[in-house]
Every structure is written in structure tokens, then in C-alpha cells.
Structure 1
């Protein structure tokens, strides 16, 4: 990435803060709490607990710790009072109060008190932090910044080096998280310059064509030759080992051979020692030269025969070389031990062929062998096999008689074009070394050879698509001056070009003349410093891409009162909500004419934006954050216990959640389908994983479910289920808490940090139900677990990676992670339970029906999440009416997701600053 000179950075920084000062809004202080705000108040019945168990030490006669409860205000309406109640909650959760020697309150009384206080503290924090609808000035978040650069310049750049946008929780659109620092400004300058470098290169090479074709058998000639050499060496080593064993069998030679087996210090030592054995065969008689085989300080062929003479890999190599069609192709393999494998079949771009940034098509002609099982008829594609960046997975439907050609779109940027290696491999063959070894071992145990060869590859090729993004760089199109170094435009021409670029970058806003003067000055300064025209122009444009007019979503106000948004402001808010990107020309034109303010036009544009593929800029980040899918990456999955949940399956499982949500938007289906439905939206990888009928294309598609299927809806999705554990075992607590938070809008309070662990359970051989029951024996645990645990127990038929099961096993392990002999237990899963203050259920299917019957709760939680995401602020009590309106409108159309969005976009809150 280009680092800008310090002089330019300093000048640009000064310009940045001047502009920020001109743009800055007068942020109003938090408004006074209105009279109709809900009062957060503890129930007076809890005074009995204080009077009977606390007041003797914290009352009028004695105030231990200078703390009194007899004068405690039960209304939690101020920060000072909230801190006092928080102290009470902390002490009770920690088991510090009442002290051990004092009389203790009944467990049920303490549990009820802690449950209510925990919930009231959550409500109090929300009430005290409520900004009453005020939307804070905010910058573009990281993904919006990347999307905006793409919309302007037509290129993708890496923005992951920018700070994260959810430091204090909430959505990445929350203005409270999106602050600016001087370091970030430097980063924006560098990334903007990188984007311009990329865009200038794409534009200069727009019409260039490139193509490279590789035959698989040519790629693997060297590997196959080494296979043959290794087999020959094994054969000779076996005969050599027998000769050595024969010599060692004679008593007079035993001491010498034993010394040799320890490893020769050097070749001369080896030859001297070996020559002492009468009639011993020379290594050269077997085609060996000790110098060439003296690896790992071993004594040539003797050591080699000892190491691999057993020939564990030999049958696999022999079987490979006997496979048909090796003269016209090659087979993908599973990685094993002590074998040169081709689990990654690569297309290496030769250094004589410089890859140009652009859009390409990667093609591969491939077939599945007759012995390939369904779960192995997939290939992964990616860039740079060592880094293992798998980008997609594809089903192989071709046969050896009729191979298929798979076409995979791939973009090479200035950054990844230097990797020069594209690869394909069998799905899951190289995710984890131990898992690959286990797969190889299973195949070897089955047939004495190794895994059957499942995928045959004929050839691969890579072709650049010329003019693939013509018209997708509007900011460059409006420059109107050449960008190459042969051009010498005048300062006036550059200034005019920069002004046009600014209007495009600033979403239709023309900057002041003083700002343009400073930009022209930066361009001239760079020329004087020795830069050529193109570099001086990029340096100047990079400043624009790091300026507040570009980085901030500006909705200025003249006073502390709210005002309706203008047409252009509404267009910007709508497009960043539904695309995560700036408005396009059509939306901008309607906004400038004032037509976007008409309800029917706004509704039509909302539908247009949702129908556009760019709406993934809303669906993907919103669903990811709403459902907390980041937990999928919190831990590594145990591949030895769950070998089928490889990286491709995990990627497809995450994608299923997005694709299902997007299908509901496209089809207008009911939001209730996320709770229970008779279909799934899956690709071939997941269809195989779920045991469904074969799907014929790589695309995600709607697939009908059998009547007894546990799939259908979020509860049956592998991604959701995999988040409810630790990658090895399930966690009913995680699953139950997730259901309460996301599906029934009854989130448990945050787990207190000071609750002591139940140490007596360590090393105990208990069922999951027995472990959870122990938690509810402590009041500070029971206050939450009695609500959480039943939901989690009802999900126990799904294992840690979402596969259905009827039994579970618990194995105690020692401090080294090794199983303790005799310390295990297997049981039949009982998924029945009784919800706290709710009905009972006998199995997962009945639990799912109960949750599905609470669609109003689900809709309310979804509405509040949508409001927070769209408006970039925390939900407040005033938003309850908006949530009611959204649900009422959606109910008129069977809770269609589109209706929730239309109701929000049409609301006063969405139209107001």
C-alpha cells in the first residue's frame, strides 16, 4: 500500500479538520426525560427481604460499608441510584450478602429478587442511555467505506486494516461507535490512494485480454515421476533391508549392525563400519549412493529402509499409478503421511505472463469417478494454497465418460495478482492435517490402500474478461482529463476535474471554492515535489476520499430542534440502509427533483433497491449482526469428532442463513418461516449434509422437506446450532440464551462476572441435564437458568455441528486433554422440559411449535433490531410505537419482511434528523 509523504499528510490533515469544522453539527445535550417516559421501579414486595435479612446491618442503627437499604429509592431513575442497586446485585450474585454466618433468605425469595433486579437494571441502563430519537453525526463504517469506494471507482480494496466499528456493542451503524482519530485519517489517505491505483490500472487495461491453459497431466508429471521414483526406492530399500537383516542375523555382525542402526555420523564412517562385515552387500549394488540418501543424519539406504520399508503408503502410490486416464489428466488425493500428494491441483501463472488486475473466469474440466461417494463429489476453489483462501465450493456432476466444465468467476486485484497460484482440491481434504490423516487412515483400514480416488481433472484455464466493469467508475468518468503521464492539463482544467470528482464523491454536494483552491494547491505542490501528473492527481483525489464530506453522513441542523430530511439526505439514508452504499444516479435524480419525498415514489424506490443485487449490502451485515453469527468464528471445531463439518460446510451453513432471509424478501413469504417451515434454502453441500435429495446446481435453492424433518427455520440450521456450543460439545445454556434473545424477545440479563463456579462438578460423570440441574440449586444461577435451560434442553437432539442424534456421551479428560479410563457415560437424549412460567414439551418438535406460536414476540424483536440498524442509534421507549406500527402493517401481509422495511422507511423517525 502506498504511504503518502508526511508533507502531504500534514497539509491534508489541516484541510481535513477545517472541513470538519465547517461540517460539524452542534450536538445537543441529552434531552430531559419526558414526563411520559416509563419509570423503572422495583416491586415494593422486595422490602420484606431487606427488612428481614439486610436492615440490621444496613439500616438506621448500623451502616456497614456506609450503605443503607431502609432509605433506598425503589425507582431506578438516576445514575446514582442505579449504581446503588448495581452494588446490591453484585453482592448477592457473588454470595457475599447476607454473610455466611447470618440468616439466609429462602432460595425462592432470593431467586425471584435477583431475576427482577437483573431485568430492571437492563431496563434502567436502556432508559438512562436513551437519546430520545437523536441521531448522532457519524462517519461511514468500514464496510460502507469499502462499498462507497467501489461505487465510485469500480474496484474492491482491502479495508480490514481500519478499526472495527462495534467497540461498544450494538450494530456497526451506531453513531456512538463511529468516531474519528488522526491515525484513522492517515489510514483513509492510504486506502484511498490504493483504491485510485487500482482504479487507474483497471481503466488503463480495460480492454486487455489474457488467457492461460494448463493440462492437469502436465502439471503433475513431476509429481508422478517422483511417485514412481519413490516406489522404486521402496522396492530397492525392501531388498536392502532384507540383506541387512540377513547380515545382522549372524552373531559376529550384531554389534556392528546395531551401531549402524543408530545412524552414521558421516559417509566415511558408514563405509568403514560396513566394510568390516564379511560378504556384506554394497549399497551401490541396490542403486543407492549414501551421499544422496544421507537425509536426517541417517545412514543412507539402511535408515531409509528402516523408516519406510513397511510400505504404509506404498499401496496408495501404486494404486495411483495404475489408475486409468493419467495420460490425459490427474486425480486429486487425500493428504497422508510420508507421501508426496496432489491434494492441491494448482494453476500457476508463469512469471513470463504478468497477470493484470481485472475480472477473470477460471474453468476446470472435471469428473467424479464411479467409486466416489456423494459427500466427496465436491471441489474447493481458491487463491494461494498455502494461505488456503478457499472462495467457493462446487459440486462435480460430470462422469468419466462425460466430464463437465465448471466456470468460476474470480477477481484478481493488484494485491492478490502477485500470488500467481489458483488451486482446486477435494472438499475438506486440506482443512486440517490431523483430519486429513484420519480420512486417509479410514480409507486404508477399509481397503488396505487408502481413500478411493474420487475426482479426476482434465485441464484448467484462466481467462481475463475485457471491459467487464465499463461504466462502473462514475467518479473517474466525470474527471474529463487524461490520467496518463503524457498529459499536461492546465491547473484550471485540473481544478474543474477535481470539482466534478468532488460532487460525485460528496453525493451531489458541491464543495466551497476555498476547498477547491486548497486541493488545486496540493496538486501543484506535488508537481513541484517532482511527481508526474498521474501521481499528483491521485494524491489530490486521495485527500477527497479522506475528507469529512466523503466520510460523514452529514445531516446538519441549525438548532437543537428536529427537522425533516431533504430529498438528497433521504436518498442517502435510504441507500446506506438498503445497500450500505451511496445512492445511484436514478435515486439521486429523484431526490434532487423532490420526487423522492412522495410516499408512492419512495415505496417504489424501496422495492427497487431491495430487488437489486446490491441489497446484499443490507441483508448480509444486518442478519450477521442481528443473529450474532460472528460466534461461528469464536472457536475451532473438533474435526476428529465432527469430520463432516469442514470449512466448506461451515461456509455453506453461514450462507444458508443469508440466502433464506433473502429468499423471504424476494418471494414475499411470511417472516414466520424463520421459526418453522416445510422447506430449506440450500446448495448441494448442505443438501448432502442434511441428507436431502441431490441438488443439481451450485446455487442455493428452495428444497422441500419430508414431513418428519427437524430442518426448516432458524432452529434447524447448522450455523445456528453450531454457535450453541464450543466446537466439540453442545451448550444448552448458549442455545437457550440465543433463543430468548433472538426468537422470543425475552433476553436474559448479562451473565454476572462475579458468580462463583460450581467447582464440585469438575470431573464428575454427569449427563447434560444433571449438570444443568446443579446450576439451579444456587439462587444467583437459578434466576437466569430456570428461563434459559429448558429451551436449550429441547435442542439437545442436535450435536455440536447441527447433526441429528439420539444419544450423547460425556468423557472426563485429564489436565492434558486425555480421556480418563472408565470415566465416561452414554445416555439416551431426553429433550423434554417445562418452560419457566410456560408450557411443557416432550421433544424438539413440540418446542419448535411453541416458539413458532410466539411470532408476535419474534416480530417485535426483529422490528427493534431493524430500527437500531437503520437509524444508527439505540432503541428507546419512544420507538415502541414505531415497532407497533411496523408489526401492524406487516401483519396485513402475513408478516412479510418487505412490509417491516416499508413501514420503517415511511415513518417520521426515518424522515427526521
Structure 2
């Protein structure tokens, strides 16, 4: 066994513990099921104290020198409870004893007195060790801001929009099981430091630009965009007596320009910011077909763009609709249109349309009923009734306005810069106020001595007051006090100060710094129980809670993996960028609905509804929604959907692009739903072999069962596999099926078998029965969800020392029937959140 090293914040630091043992696995691992049995250890027990005698008498047979179940050797576990090296294993043993899972029912049982004495002793040792470790913690803990948190913080501090994920900006955050904010993973290398200095420069340039960049508005009509003004085309229309205006027909398979920086004249970085996009558009589509999907963004290939704005065009060409969006743009930039549609003819005809309709004068489009001026060499676009043969977008005009700065954004910068004729005392006070906001705590003048000295040196060298002051602002924004959340300074203590608590709450629920009201409560030393409840309720009702919804759901469910292995186009022709984007958004919107309506946690496991847009409804075989965007839609039993586990994103993120992977699905269910991470597979284990060309076609399930006969694999597979095999009736992109496509081998594709047996022996026949078993385990699922929330809120891996705090939250959540908003509220108000 490898030893663990526990950091000051209770985080296991060595690689095995850090990457394989989150809290749920440490305390309740399905994978190591410690099965204690009797062992004739009389020689050892006769001279040992009762604690050791119990272990030798009742534990070593399965976890001793002769047998090592689940990689656990009880005889080799550390007895140094103050160091806490193996406390998680001892806590797990305690759980198994208390629940009656040890010793096995077919073994002789210890007496109740023996069990009680051992449990009492072990519990006291764990508590003593916990107290010792808490007392031994160093004074200060540091947790670096993630990129997303940095982006939100500079916006809330200075009203500046900045994209840290843009190439060349802040380094990508290191993930731990999907989480991007675990403190021990977020290091600070020289490369990070250089980029933080560059980011601070950009932020200050936008907050206090050297030259004014007033908002400008640019409007382009279809005639200007498509026909270079349309003078010749209008003459042709006049000759034919056609009175309709020219319109821009956008079709799948071609990328068209949507914005060029030079439309605004000379632009540069100072013009970066928020822009308002307005356009009037409509669409055509085949009878019963899907509406076209318009994507506006940067071109990534001949036919696609990276969607900055994406939406369905549901309006008919006779009733065009005006669509409006706010978009953050880094100037200078070029943006393009791309139309996504799902009809097979679209993919076949794309190249033909590109060739036939590429020239500016190749056709003139005004209406599907006006075909006289269409290019006769182009593939047919409309049937005899004027219906689109495939989905297209008809654009009338597009308008861009910006950069826009709201009054609220301007107010965040008011008073930051002192007047040019300010006295040294006034300059110092302005700096102190800014540092207090940026560092999220009171700041003493002594801490700013070096900053102010730099200011006076720069002024003496001839710098303007604003430029010299800006140098100090940059130093504040690159200080550890800004880049890190600092807890515990200057004294070692058990609980957070009100300032630290305000900061922890704001980065938990808003992914950003506290606002004025929260700062005020901290300044007054008034974050007591009653005021704390009011503040948490206010934060849950604030629009900034959407940051928590977006960030937590994405990290908890590991949605960064969606599209990591793009599905094979030949095997899954229905899969496209629009579907992938829609899939990734579905669980986030689902969580938003759960939180907003305080729905019970059971709906994560099974429900008769989801949040879907037109593309997902088509994919799931549902009726098209009546409105654009995501909305709540209902399922019937024959839809084979409901809850997180049957969403396309969840089923697809565990696939490899060609086939589903039941083992990976099982691991995901274990991690996301039960918060238990299986150990890494043994080294040099043979992979699951494909079906040979001359072999009979068999399912992946059959191949896994053959693979799991390996003794080194069987123990884990019997606990992982059922959790993934339950969803074998869904393919690699989440489509329902009854037979598994096997590309090699002889014979028919075999029927799918989604039956299995849970690790505790309960059988199921398919995913519906499996979900019912999960509903029976809702208390375990609720505890795992709470553990995920606490990991996210505390920015660290939970340890055995957090056990009592988690159980207190579980108890509070149970009183409220495990409703999601109440659970989040209970975490925010918990004693665990108030502790360092």
C-alpha cells in the first residue's frame, strides 16, 4: 500500500490518493468492500491489547498476510491516528462493523459486547487523531482562482469583460475528476505569473482606456452582404417586375461572413467588449423536417464555425423574426454564419451548392415562389409547392452595435482613480479601498507601503498621476491576495473570520467576489446565524446563482468530456455540432430547473421530463417545441428517457467515438452518482479484444465477462460493470436500440442484454429497473450529491475529518425531503463551510 501525506487542509497529496480516492470512496467504497472474516491468530492475540486482539481474531483472514482483499492489509495499516495516514481505511472498517456487513453472515460472529468495545475504541482513536490534526494545521491556506473565477472577479470588481480562455491568455486549469477548482491542483508556475501580469494589463486597459471607444452601430442588408449593394440585381428584378426585396439565402455546407472588424473602421483591442447583435431572419424546411440552426462564430473548417451564438430559426419566410443577442467580442475579429441542418440531402448537396451558388451574380433570391432568377445549374432547393427540400435560413439584415458599457459597469470604476491633484493621503486612501475590495478583506496601510513608494518613484520620474496609480493597481491585481483565496492569516484557528466566510460563500454560489452587501455584513462582524441565512437566501435568488448552476453542473457531471472523442460520421450520421452543443447544455438546463423549482433529488435519477430544444427533441423522437431554445418537455414510457442517466451527454461522454463502453459508463455512474472512484486497473491487463473476422458476433458485454474472469480484474468488474451494462440499450451517442452493432464477425448483430445484479445482490432487467433500485438508495445518492457540493464549495478533496460535518448536512437535507435548493442552502449554512 502506498502511504498518504495529509496537507494542512486535510487533502491527501500523493498521486494515488489524490487521483483515486475522493471522500465517498474513502468511507464507503463499493470497490474494496472490506469483508472481514475470522482468523486463528491466537499466538498474536494472546499477548496483544483488546483492540489488536480483535483485529487478529476477526480481520486478518481476508486482510492479512495470506489474503489481501481489495488491496487492504489490516495488519499493515498505520496505528498513528494523529498522522492520519490510514484514517480513511479505519473509518471504512468502522462503517462496515456498524452496518453489520462484517463479518460475513456465513462466518462465526463476535459478541455484541466485543463489537461494542472495538467500535468505541476505534471511534475514540479517530476522533483523537482528528483533533490533533486540526490543532496542528499551519496558519494559512491558499486556493488559487480558476480561470472562470478570475473572469467573473475582474468583471465584478471593475466591470471589465475579459476572456481568460482565449488562446494566449491564462493557462488551462488542471482538472481533478472534472473539478477545476481543487486548491492542491492549481499551482502557480512562472508561466502562470507572466500571464497574470498580462491579464492585469488587459483588464486595466479596458477599465481605463487611453482613448475613448464610443459605441457604434453598423447595419448590413441582404443586398449589401450578398450582392455587393445589389444595384445590378435590382435592375434585373425591375425587368422581371418582381417587387420583393432581395434576401440572403444561407444553406448548409457553406460558411458566410457575418462580421468584419473593418465594418466599424479602424478597430483594435480597446474596442473589445460587449456588442449587441440584431438580425431579421426566417427559414424554410421540408414538410415535417427540423428547422435550420444558425451558428455565428469563428470559422473552424470549410463548413463549420465555432458557435459564439447559436439558435433555431423557426419563423416562416413570410413572417420573419427579429433575433437579438449580447455577445462579448475580442477585437479585431472576423465572424461567420454557418447553417446546421439534419436532413441527409443537406450533407449530400453541400458541395454542389457551394459550386453552383458561390458567385455573387449566380442567383438572386427574394422568395421561394420566385424561382426565375435562381441559378439553373444549382441543385433544386424548393419543391413545386415552394417548400424547402432541406432546411435553409433566409436573412434580411444584420446589425451590430458596440462596444457597450452599462451604467452598472461604469459605476464599478468610479472613484478608483484619485484626482490628478490628489494629496498623498488621498492617493493612499484610494489605493486602500481598491485593495480591500480586490483582496476581499480589511487592508492596513502598512501592507501598502511598498506600493505607495513605487507610486512616488514613478511620479518623480515624470509619470502622470493616473499612469503611476495604474502601476499600483497592477500590483494589487497580481498579488497573491488577489489571485488566491487566503484563509487563516495571521492566526491558526478552527473557524473562518466573517471576511473569509463571505468570500467562501461568494465563490461557492457566485464563482466570484462578495458584493457590497456581503462585504458590509463581514465588515460589521454580522454574519451570525440569522444574518447568514438572509444573505444565503439573497444569494440564491440573485441572477449570479446562474454561475454556480453552470459551473457546478459542468464540473460535477464531467461535461468537459462531451465530444472528447468525436463520433464516427459513418456510424452515427445523425450526430452533428448542433446536437453535441445541445447535449452538453441539457444537463445544465436540467439542473437549473431542479434548483429553481426546488425539486427532489429523485428527479436526477428518473423523471418524466427534461429540458430540450428542437434538436434534442428530434434526436429523442419528441414533438417539436413551440418556442425557441430550451424548455421543459415531457416523456412517455416508450421514449426510454428520464433523469440524468439517459441523457445523450451522459451516455456519449463515456463512449470512444465508435462504440459504447459499459465499464466507463459504470465508472461515471459510480463517481457522479455515488461519489465513489474505483481504483486504477492493474498494470499490464490485456484490453478487451474485438470480435475476430471469422468469429461469431458477440456483444461487448460477452467480451467484458470473458475479460473479467481474470482474477486481478474480477473484484472491480463485478462492482463496476452492472452500473454501465444497465444502459446497454443505448449506443455510443445515446440512441435507443435493441441490437448491438458489431462491425466484425459472422452472423446477425446480437440482441442487447441490459440486465445485471447490483453489488449488494439486487437484480434488474433493464435501465428502468436499475433506476428504481437507485431510487431505493436515494439517501446514498443524496449523501454523494452533498459530498460533491462540499468538494466544490471547499475547493478540496474531503477527508475522514469532514465526516461529521457531511452527516450533519445529510440530516438537515433529509428533513427537507432531499430537495435540491434546500440541499444547496444547507451546505452554505453548514458548520463545515464555516470551518477552515
Match of 2:147 in 1: 142
CA offsets 1:82-114 (integer angstroms, 9 cap, x no match): 9x99xxxxxxxxxxxxxxxxxxxxxxxxxxxxx
- Measured after TM superposition, the shift of residue 689 of structure 1 is 2.4
The aligned runs of 1:242-257 (5 Å cut-off) are none
- Specify which of 333, 338, 350 is matched with residue 251 of structure 2: 333
TM-score (norm 2): 0.74
Match of 2:783 in 1: 860
- Measured after TM superposition, the shift of residue 428 of structure 1 is 5.6
Match of 1:6 in 2: none
**Separation in 1, partners of 2:456, 2:731:** 65
Match of 1:215 in 2: 221
Match of 1:648 in 2: 578
Match of 1:519 in 2: 451
CA offsets 1:783-835 (integer angstroms, 9 cap, x no match): 122222233222122121112222222113xxxxxxxxx76752332323333
The aligned runs of 1:419-568 (5 Å cut-off) are 419=333, 421-427=334-340, 437-438=347-348, 440=350, 449=380, 452=389, 454-464=391-401, 468-472=405-409, 476-481=413-418, 493-513=426-446, 515-527=447-459, 532-556=464-488, 560=492, 562-568=493-499
- Measured after TM superposition, the shift of residue 633 of structure 1 is 4.1
Alpha-carbon RMSD across the aligned residues, in angstroms, is 4.2
CA offsets 1:643-665 (integer angstroms, 9 cap, x no match): 33222221221111111112111
Match of 1:885 in 2: 808
Q: Does the 8 A contact of 1:740 with 1:747 survive in 2?
A: yes
Q: Does the 8 A contact of 2:682 with 2:713 survive in 1?
A: no
Match of 1:60 in 2: none
Match of 2:374 in 1: none
Match of 2:824 in 1: 901
- Measured after TM superposition, the shift of residue 359 of structure 1 is 2.4
> Does structure 1 residue 752 correspond to structure 2 residue 682?
yes
The aligned runs of 1:792-871 (5 Å cut-off) are 792-812=724-744, 825-871=748-794
Q: 1:526 to 1:697 in 2, by over 3 A?
A: farther
Q: 1:29 to 1:851 in 2, by over 3 A?
A: closer
Match of 2:209 in 1: 201
**Separation in 2, partners of 1:358, 1:439:** 38
- Measured after TM superposition, the shift of residue 435 of structure 1 is 11
CA offsets 1:137-193 (integer angstroms, 9 cap, x no match): 323233222221111111222323434443666743333223434443332221111
**Separation in 1, partners of 2:573, 2:689:** 32
Secondary structure (helix, strand or coil) at the match of 2:721 reads: helix
Q: Which runs of 5+ in 1 are unaligned?
A: 1-25, 32-36, 49-66, 86-126, 228-321, 336-341, 813-821
TM-score (norm 1): 0.68
**Separation in 1, partners of 2:313, 2:825:** 42
Number of aligned residue pairs: give it. 697
Match of 2:51 in 1: none
**Separation in 2, partners of 1:637, 1:363:** 34
Q: Does the 8 A contact of 2:635 with 2:642 survive in 1?
A: yes
Q: 1:775 to 1:38 in 2, by over 3 A?
A: closer
Secondary structure (helix, strand or coil) at the match of 2:203 reads: helix
Q: 1:616 to 1:456 in 2, by over 3 A?
A: closer
- Measured after TM superposition, the shift of residue 347 of structure 1 is 3.4
Q: Does the 8 A contact of 1:360 with 1:463 survive in 2?
A: yes
Q: Does the 8 A contact of 1:374 with 1:688 survive in 2?
A: no
The aligned runs of 1:531-680 (5 Å cut-off) are 532-556=464-488, 560=492, 562-597=493-528, 599-680=529-610
- Measured after TM superposition, the shift of residue 30 of structure 1 is 9.7
Match of 1:309 in 2: none
Match of 2:702 in 1: 770
Secondary structure (helix, strand or coil) at the match of 2:740 reads: strand
- Measured after TM superposition, the shift of residue 676 of structure 1 is 0.6
Q: 1:716 to 1:435 in 2, by over 3 A?
A: farther
**Separation in 1, partners of 2:222, 2:78:** 72
Larger Cα-atom Rg: 1
Range that drifts further, 487-496 or 834-843: 487-496
Q: Does the 8 A contact of 2:295 with 2:305 survive in 1?
A: no
Match of 1:706 in 2: 636
Secondary structure (helix, strand or coil) at the match of 1:350 reads: helix
